[in-house]
C-alpha cells in the first residue's frame, strides 16, 4: 500500500535549514567561554537571506527553550506558522 508523506512548504524548509545550521554553530561553541556575541543566521522564510543576527550564546540558548522562537533579523518575515489559516483559493 502506498503511503503519502506530507512535505513542508518551501519557506518552512528554508527556516528549518537555517535553524539547523544555527544549532550546529551553537553546539560547536557551547564548550567555549560565553563572552561576547556570535553571528547566527536569520531564520526568516526567505531562501536568499543569509544575514546575521548577533546574539550571546546564553541568549540563544534561552530563546531555544521556546520551540517557536526563531532568530529573525528586524524587518524580516517569519515562516507561515503551523496551523495558520490560509485564505481559500477560489475554484
Q: Is 76 in the site for Zn ion (CB under 5 A)?
A: yes
Dihedral sign of CA atoms 81, 83, 89, 90 in order: negative
Q: Is 44 in the site for Zn ion (CB under 5 A)?
A: yes
Q: Is 21 in the site for Zn ion (CB under 5 A)?
A: no
Contact indicator for 42, 17 with CB cutoff of 8 Å: no
How far, in Å, CA of 83 to CA of 65, rounded? Answer: 21
Mark the segment that binds Zn ion (CB under 5 A) among 17-25, 57-65, 72-80, 81-89.
72-80
Helix (H) or strand (E) holding 39: strand 38-41
Q: Is 34 in the site for Zn ion (CB under 5 A)?
A: no
Q: Is 53 in the site for Zn ion (CB under 5 A)?
A: no
Mark the segment that binds Zn ion (CB under 5 A) among 5-13, 28-36, 49-57, 78-86.
49-57
Amino acid at each position: 500500500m502506498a503511503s503519502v508523506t506530507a512535505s513542508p512548504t518551501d519557506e518552512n524548509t528554508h527556516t528549518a535549514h537555517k535553524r539547523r545550521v544555527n544549532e550546529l554553530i551553537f553546539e560547536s561553541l557551547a564548550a567555549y567561554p560565553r563572552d561576547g556575541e556570535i553571528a547566527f543566521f536569520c531564520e526568516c522564510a526567505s531562501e536568499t537571506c543569509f544575514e546575521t543576527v548577533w546574539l550571546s550564546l546564553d541568549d540563544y540558548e534561552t530563546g531555544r527553550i521556546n520551540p517557536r522562537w526563531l532568530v529573525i533579523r528586524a524587518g524580516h518575515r517569519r515562516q507561515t506558522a503551523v496551523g495558520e489559516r490560509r485564505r481559500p483559493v477560489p475554484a
